Amino acid sequence: MKPKVYLLIVQLVLILNSTNAQIPPKDSFQLLLSTDNLLLAKGETDSISISVLRSKFYKKGNAVFRFSSPEVKGISVTIQPINDQPDNYSLVVAINDQAESGDYNLIPSCTLRDKTKGVIVKITVK
């Protein structure tokens, strides 16, 4: 009897874990970040993965990224597509010697069809 109960519990856990996958929004799109903050020293570079999760209505069309935050001296930011992974991008942040220590908010925004959405990334320069 105990092995059957154990097997049932294991199967239930596996089913619940498999349903934790991201569910696309019903009538829009969503931006998912690997992290929403970076801690960097001068001379360092790091990246964050950005995934675009689309509903059926937004399946077609290219994602266009821009930055809604002001430029900060000493911090350069680029967004590059990740090869062979549609709707996955890498946000690369580089800090040079001219950057001042402090906290900065970076707002990458994505436009698909007629809608624009942004996310806030906190960058701490030490």
Each residue of 102-126: pLDDT tens digit? 999 999 999 988 889 999 999 999 9
Q: Rounded to whole angstroms, how far apart are CA atoms 22 and 114?
A: 23
Mean pLDDT in residue range 54-58: 86
What pLDDT, on a 0 to 100 scale, did the predictor assign at position 121?
Answer: 94
What pLDDT, on a 0 to 100 scale, did the predictor assign at position 41?
Answer: 95
pLDDT category at 97 given cuts 50, 70, 90 is: very high
Q: Rounded to whole angstroms, how far apart are CA atoms 96 and 75?
A: 6
Regarding predicted confidence, which is higher, 8 or 100? 100
Lowest-pLDDT choice from 1-5, 97-101, 117-121: 1-5
- Residue 21 DSSP class: S
What pLDDT, on a 0 to 100 scale, did the predictor assign at position 22?
Answer: 65
What pLDDT, on a 0 to 100 scale, did the predictor assign at position 62?
Answer: 85
Domains, the chain, with CATH or none:
24-125 (2.60.40.10)
Question: What share of the chain in percent tops pLDDT 90?
Answer: 49
Close Cβ partners of 34 (under 8 Å, ≥ 6 residues apart): 48, 49, 50
